[in-house]
Each structure stands twice: as structure tokens, then as C-alpha cells.
Amino acid sequence: MYCRFVTFDRKSLQRFGWEILPHPAHSPDLAPSDFLFGPLKRHLGGMAFETEDDLISELGNWFDNLDVDFFRVGINSLLSRWQTCIDLHWDYVEK
């Protein structure tokens, strides 16, 4: 099974009743997917793939084997980073 990424526009999010927070442009320290890339980089480190399909298969296996807590902890870590950004009046947040 592969992860399927879905994007929502502002109107779709508002229909769900979600509050939309302002997000400063080019703010990599606040990227929701940030918690994925370090572990993924470590997992793929040193691997070589003969074909694009081999890479896609490995990515699918990696995502399929992640525990739900991995995502819970990663998403919850955004809360403190976002609060720091708000406290700094949207100034750059260092990790």
C-alpha cells in the first residue's frame, strides 16, 4: 500500500471548520513534513536503486512500516514550533 498525498484548498479546509493560520512564505522550519525527511534520509542512506520502480517500492515499504506514533509525535512537534513562531511575531524560528 502506498501513501496518497491529498491537498486541500482554503475553501475545503473551511468546510471542515478548521481554523486556517497564516503561514510565512519560505519557512522550512515550520514545514509540516519536516519530521519525515530526517528519518527517511537515514533509512535510504547508502542504498542504491537500479530503477525508479525499485525506489518507489522501497519508499512504499518504508511508509507502510511506520508506526502511527511516528506520525503522532511528528505532527504534535509542530505545535511548539508554531507557538514559538507566533511568540516571535512570525520571525524566523531556529531549531
Domain membership flag for residue 28:
no
Domain membership flag for residue 79:
yes
- CA torsion, points 39, 43, 46, 50, in degrees to nearest 10? -120
All three cell numbers of 20, joined, read 486556517
Number of domains comprising the chain: 1
Grid look-up 497564516 returns 22
Domain membership flag for residue 49:
no
Residues 9-52 have pLDDT tens digits of 777 777 878 777 665 555 656 677 778 888 999 999 999 999 99
* Residue range of the domain that includes 79: 68-95
Domain membership flag for residue 3:
no
Q: Is 63 exposed, middle or buried (0-12, 13-18, 19+ CB in 10 A)?
A: middle
Domain membership flag for residue 91:
yes
Is pTM beyond 0.75 here?
Answer: no
Domain membership flag for residue 59:
no
Domain membership flag for residue 74:
yes
Residues 28 and 93: their CA atoms lie apart, in Å, by 9
Residues 33-43 have pLDDT tens digits of 778 888 999 99
